[in-house]
Amino acid sequence: MKALTASIVLALAACASVPPPATDLAFARAAVEQAGPLATRYAPAELAAAQKKLERAEQALARDDRVQARRLAEEAEVDARFAWAVAQNERSRAAE
């Protein structure tokens, strides 16, 4: 019984100690903003995916689900960088 109680206390402490993902959200927002002008024209689907994940990350943070918010913010950043890379590639191909 003591082991179960200790496990529960440790699990709750671990959840409570997750810091807010402010930096992750800031990086995701910056990546979406950077990709925006070019990706809107050349990679709109990829940009939309990044924007949707960023929106979901902000909703998770509003619910105080910091783990989910961080994961979604990281995914949004990666998706935005991918959108930017696809857009760069498409723009280069169009210029040939």
**Predicted local distance difference test score (pLDDT) of residue 96:** 83
**Predicted local distance difference test score (pLDDT) of residue 55:** 98
Tens of pLDDT, residues 56-89: 999 999 999 999 999 999 999 999 999 999 999 9
**Predicted local distance difference test score (pLDDT) of residue 6:** 58
Report field, pTM of the whole predicted structure over 0.85: no
Q: Hey, CA dihedral for 14, 15, 19, 22, is it positive or negative?
A: positive
Tell me the C-alpha distance between 95 and 33, whole Å: 23
- Per-residue pLDDT at 24 exceeds 60: yes
Mean of pLDDT over the chain: 90
Tell me the C-alpha distance between 96 and 79, whole Å: 26
CB 29 within 8 A of CB 54: yes
Each domain of the chain, given as residue ranges in start order, spans 20-95
